[in-house]
Each structure stands twice: as C-alpha cells, then as structure tokens.
Amino acid sequence: MQGVMRGYISTVDAVNRRIGRFVMYGIFVLMGILLWSSISKTFFLPSLWTLEMAQFVMVGYYILGGPYSIQMGSNVRMDLLYGEWNLRRKAWFDLATVLLLIFYLCVLLYGAVSSTAYSLGYWGSEPVSFLAGVVFGTEEVGRLERSPTAWRPYIWPIKVVMIFGMILMILQCFSEFLKDVLRLTGEDC
C-alpha cells in the first residue's frame, strides 16, 4: 500500500512541478502585455485587448501555479502556533485542513464545470454530463459566451484552464494528504 501511495505522490508531484516551473514564466508574458499596454496608450491608439488578456494570463498563472506552490510549501500559513509544533502534530493538523481544502476545491470545481458548460451554450441542469459529451463528441456546443467588453473574447478557454488547474490542485492536495499519512505512520516522504 505504501508503494502505491509513494507512486501516486511522485507522479503527481512530478507533473505539478513541471507545469508549475513552466507556468512561472507566465509572469514575463504578463509583464510584456502590460508593457505593450503602456506603450500603446502613450504613443499609439490604446489596445482594446491588453487589460483583459492580462487578466486571463494572471488567472492561468495563479490557477496553474497553485499546485506547485502547495507542493513547495510556499503557500501562506499563519505560524502563530503551527511553527512551534512537532512534526507529528503538524501532520495531524495538515491532514485535517487538507481535507477541508479538498472539499472546498470540489465545490469550486463543480461551479467551474457549470460555468464552463454555460459558456459553451448549455442551459440545462446536467453540466458535468454535457461537458463529458463535448469532450467525447456526443454533445454539440451551443452559442458561445463572449465577454461584454469592446474586445469581446470567448470566455470558455479561460474557464477550461480553471477546471484543469482545479483538478491539478485536488490531485496535489491528495498527494499532500498521503504525505501526511506517511508521516503519521513514521515513514519519511
């Protein structure tokens, strides 16, 4: 059983590490977009797409970089009490809080799936089966949602990125859960 747990941990950690290391360069993309926005507003006609594109890039940066942040332990944590605890007590506390985080992420994922289905033109009550049908080719996409701004980009691509990022975050949270279980059994992760 511990071999399966370790295999899951190493696989998920490797995937999220690679994605996180790639996505962290998105900050340069964001800086380039904002730089172009400043230049175009100063010397040319202002670009309509820069603000919204910067928001989309920031969402991707944040959502896809989150699992890597959790893996590296660089998420914000209040160390008022936690910093003084021993490893076993920290593992128990992390075990409980990661379960709450997984629940929260599952609720967010359901909302993201519903929102993505809506952006693909689905107004029914079964968004999960609709998206599965879209992926496997058994459902047709309806009228695509667009942003109400002057640029009017389609909304579904960033919503798909959000779903993908939340799935990666849930997988990483299960990895952290299994690491805590291994710590409680006295194993080194």
Mean pLDDT, the chain, integer: 91
pLDDT at 189: 66
**Domain boundaries, position 117:** 2-75+86-184
Residue 149 pLDDT greater than 70, yes or no: yes
Residue 188 pLDDT greater than 70, yes or no: yes
Beta bridge partners of 146: 154
Residue 46 pLDDT greater than 70, yes or no: yes
User: Does some domain include residue 189?
Assistant: no
User: Does some domain include residue 117?
Assistant: yes
User: Does some domain include residue 170?
Assistant: yes
Residue 164 pLDDT greater than 90, yes or no: yes
Residue 179 pLDDT greater than 90, yes or no: yes
Measured distance between the N- and C-terminal CA atoms of the chain, rounded to whole angstroms: 14
Q: How many domains, the chain?
A: 1
pLDDT by residue (tens digit) across 106-131? 999 999 999 999 999 888 889 989 99
Q: Rounded to 5 degrees, what are φ and ψ at 22?
A: -70, -45
User: Does some domain include residue 80?
Assistant: no
User: Does some domain include residue 59?
Assistant: yes
User: Does some domain include residue 66?
Assistant: yes
User: Does some domain include residue 168?
Assistant: yes
Task: Identify which of 108, 112, 118 has the alpha carbon closest to the alpha carbon of residue 159.
Answer: 112
Residue 185 pLDDT greater than 80, yes or no: yes
User: Does some domain include residue 175?
Assistant: yes
pLDDT at 124: 85
Residue 163 pLDDT greater than 70, yes or no: yes
Max CA-CA distance within the chain?
64
Residue 14 pLDDT greater than 90, yes or no: yes
Residue 154 pLDDT greater than 80, yes or no: yes
Residue 139 pLDDT greater than 90, yes or no: no
Residues above pLDDT 90, as percent of the chain:
63
Residue 21 pLDDT greater than 90, yes or no: yes
Contact 164, 64 (CB under 8 A): yes
